[in-house]
Structure 1
């Protein structure tokens, strides 16, 4: 077998992992969830979830990937065997499903960059809604989906160093610089103070009253934005050396990802409030594209700000999408001996076909997204946490200690975080997620079926 690729530098790995984490989840999904779940109340729960659950869970995936130098399917087969080997397929399936609609949303973003360049953002909700429906469904959406997916295939096809690592070294610094610049601009808007009150002043009573809604949303968002439960971090960690400090790298990755998500709120909500848009009404996949576009239409130079903003989302979406495709491609390379570009083209084409329904009707976005984020992501995280925390804990502690001068008792702290609070909270979260998905299937989706069949 040919020698397996590795990252050229530590910076390359960190930027790739940050690029995987920083994507549509931070800038498209995060703001509408904050608005939907009560503003600062959701933000507090989300930040706690990232720190107490997301970071330990990321180290779990790092351990599995680096220990085996394999894709998720091969890694779980090597470490666990038996029934555990099938867990790798859950990761692969999750990434596959997410990328199928993620690429469609990436196509929407590309369309909105063009709309901005043409000065075409509509300054009212009704008009912006019509503009979004036109852009987000039908042949135009399929075309955008195809263009975005082709870009992902091209980058992954060139490999780890010449494709993914080279691309993220350009994309991730650009995302960070542009996001900070837009946040400074948003600070100058008339609605900034009202926006910050909504976004940064949590109501504890609201958290306690609505925790059954906030918890699964925060968990799904944390796992989505950190690229957990989909095999991306297992895959990326499989390309790094034994001398790396996984905890240190993980802290940098989680910190940068969370900072950018937080910054996205500092950008979006001042624009909402300045444009007279109520964030609580910006619910669903089209929130940013309808509500934000309507607010931008009322701003001076809104077309320019919108072009830069949606351009940033496009870069972030691409940096995440390449990690999702790499999960499945790495399986075909490692386990089936397939040549990289052939594997990339085949998988990318299949994912494109699976995503076509979400480009034709928006109901399929919710069908795919709720299933992948509220159930599959959390289930994958739950099962791999049980496996690492209780089945191979000695192996995990040995692996987490590599590259660390003095691990001390921190390894035991980490493993017990994984064994009890991480597993308990993920179990509760998946229970709530399944219940929410059932409500969707028997509610909105059943109504859609009744109208279209």
Structure 2
């Protein structure tokens, strides 16, 4: 088997890892999560979760990929055979599903970057998004035909991803992130600087940072902190294992994990400042409280921010271009990392060239993603995103740490490997975090999620019980939600049943336990 690809430099790997972690959620999810869970006080459980779950799991996955020198399935197989391999495939199929709809959101951001030049969305930004841009179907589950205005930028997104991925690790992924990440930081800094100079910006920042210490007594706030850290750092769905498998033999694993974790958190803080400064301006213009305009997700990015841009006293178009370009850059760096998981997995398992794997993986993902470019695409995207994250990523994390810590008992093996090449030495704190704290918190999260979704006790923003998630029908929840999460597990089992090629397993480019 050919020598495994490698990063050109340590900085290249770190930029790629940070590029994977820094995604759309940093900009449109974290600010609202922090605001809703105690403002400035939220940073206490957030930092605690980062140090007891986020970075420890990053270290574990960096170590696994570096030690076993393979994609997620190959690394798990080399660790403990077939009984572990399926976890790697589970992560890969979760990544595959995420990539199919993530690309569509990047396509929307591309369109809005262009729209910003002449503020094409007009005064009614909500009607423009759901009507003119998405031509949204009336009923969830109705496909309704393709929306050409979404299909064409979607194909452009996949074309960019294809060119980067087929160029390889060093000349493709590393080079792209060396361009994307510095550009993203500079562009978003310009967004933040403009936002904090707006009238009412301090009003928004006060709402964001003002600590509500009473929230710290609420266990759901701590669970929210762990949940956000978990989803934010790209852990538990094959990405970091894959990326670290391309590291040179002598690599400081623990330092890399700390740098990646804190760089991601630093960008989230920056995003919070930019978003809430802008929301403060909007609230001031409307003479309402920040709570009345604060939101997250698609609504924040494609409805609220265009409204803010409309009301700005100057440089409206430039601000819009910079904001939506930030979403495009953050999205592309994450999409590349997500896609690399199944490209590496397919290449390793079936011993085919990278080029063939890219053609097959990206081609299939792009084809499936067309479902989300239909009139009913937003509904399918919403359901798939909720279920694949909650019952895919979070569930994998729980299973992964329990099996590695307690069933396969590999923490001591990983500790020895990481300590041999890292400045920061691991010890009891790391094992306690992974063996006790993380399983307990994730287990509590999963129990709560299962209870809510099985008993149908979702609550809307006004405290009203709405039954299924977003009030969707049982049939739509099953066909577009639960089925997606189940699909990832079933495909993981099926791919585990295939035999590895003999020359793949005979390579000596990794350490035996």
In the alignment, is residue 442 of structure 1 matched against residue 440 of structure 2?
A: no
In the alignment, is residue 9 of structure 1 matched against residue 27 of structure 2?
A: no
Alignment partner, residue 186 of structure 1? 195
Contact 2:205 2:280 in 1 (8 A): no
Alignment partner, residue 286 of structure 1? 299
CA distance in 1, matches of 2:451, 2:206: 32
Alignment partner, residue 365 of structure 1? 381
Contact 1:217 1:374 in 2 (8 A): no
**CA deviation digits over 1:3-29, x for unaligned, max 9?**
210011111111110111111121133
Q: Deviation of residue 111 (structure 1)?
A: 0.8
**Gap regions ≥5 residues in structure 2:** 137-146, 459-466, 480-513
Q: Deviation of residue 93 (structure 1)?
A: 1.4
Q: Deviation of residue 448 (structure 1)?
A: 8.6
In the alignment, is residue 128 of structure 1 matched against residue 125 of structure 2?
A: yes
**CA deviation digits over 1:321-368, x for unaligned, max 9?**
100000000012222122212211211122223333333332222211
Q: Deviation of residue 158 (structure 1)?
A: 0.8
Q: Deviation of residue 295 (structure 1)?
A: 1.0
Alignment partner, residue 163 of structure 2? 154
SS at match of 1:57: helix
Contact 2:190 2:322 in 1 (8 A): no
| Alignment partner of 1:311 out of 325, 328, 336 | 325
Alignment partner, residue 416 of structure 1? 432
CA distance in 2, matches of 1:59, 1:52: 11
| Alignment partner of 2:412 out of 383, 387, 394 | 394
Q: Deviation of residue 169 (structure 1)?
A: 0.7
Contact 2:31 2:275 in 1 (8 A): yes
Decide whether aligned partners of structure 1 residues 287 and 449 sit closer, same or farther in structure 2, where only a CA change above 3 A counts.
farther
Decide whether aligned partners of structure 1 residues 19 and 339 sit closer, same or farther in structure 2, where only a CA change above 3 A counts.
same
Q: Deviation of residue 216 (structure 1)?
A: 5.2
CA distance in 2, matches of 1:320, 1:72: 17
Alignment partner, residue 22 of structure 2? 22
Bigger drift between 178-187 and 135-144 goes to 135-144
SS at match of 2:77: helix
| Alignment partner of 2:238 out of 231, 237, 252 | 231
In the alignment, is residue 301 of structure 1 matched against residue 319 of structure 2?
A: no
Q: Deviation of residue 215 (structure 1)?
A: 4.9
Contact 2:201 2:279 in 1 (8 A): no
Which of structure 1's runs of 4+ aligned residues deviate more than 6 A? none
In the alignment, is residue 171 of structure 1 matched against residue 180 of structure 2?
A: yes
Q: Deviation of residue 265 (structure 1)?
A: 1.1
Alignment partner, residue 392 of structure 2? 376
Bigger drift between 381-390 and 316-325 goes to 381-390
Alignment partner, residue 463 of structure 2? none
CA distance in 1, matches of 2:324, 2:99: 19
| Alignment partner of 2:358 out of 327, 330, 344 | 344
In the alignment, is residue 320 of structure 1 matched against residue 317 of structure 2?
A: no
Decide whether aligned partners of structure 1 residues 417 and 219 sit closer, same or farther in structure 2, where only a CA change above 3 A counts.
closer
CA distance in 2, matches of 1:275, 1:169: 35
Q: Deviation of residue 174 (structure 1)?
A: 1.2
**CA deviation digits over 1:286-315, x for unaligned, max 9?**
322111111111002222101011111111
* 1:192-231 superposed matches below 5 A: 192-209=201-218, 211-212=219-220, 214-215=221-222, 217-231=224-238
Note the aligned Cα RMSD (angstroms): 2.4
* 1:71-90 superposed matches below 5 A: 71-90=71-90
Alignment partner, residue 262 of structure 2? 255
CA distance in 2, matches of 1:443, 1:405: 46
Contact 1:220 1:373 in 2 (8 A): no
TM-score normalised according to structure 1 size? 0.91
Alignment partner, residue 334 of structure 1? 348
Bigger drift between 71-80 and 144-153 goes to 144-153
CA distance in 1, matches of 2:472, 2:190: 44
Q: Deviation of residue 271 (structure 1)?
A: 1.0
CA distance in 1, matches of 2:302, 2:339: 25
TM-score normalised according to structure 2 size? 0.81
Query: Looking at CA atoms only, which structure, 1 or 2, has the larger radius of gyration?
Result: 2
SS at match of 1:75: helix
Q: Deviation of residue 430 (structure 1)?
A: 1.9
Decide whether aligned partners of structure 1 residues 39 and 112 sit closer, same or farther in structure 2, where only a CA change above 3 A counts.
farther
Decide whether aligned partners of structure 1 residues 450 and 57 sit closer, same or farther in structure 2, where only a CA change above 3 A counts.
closer
CA distance in 2, matches of 1:286, 1:107: 16
Contact 1:183 1:267 in 2 (8 A): yes
**Gap regions ≥5 residues in structure 1:** none
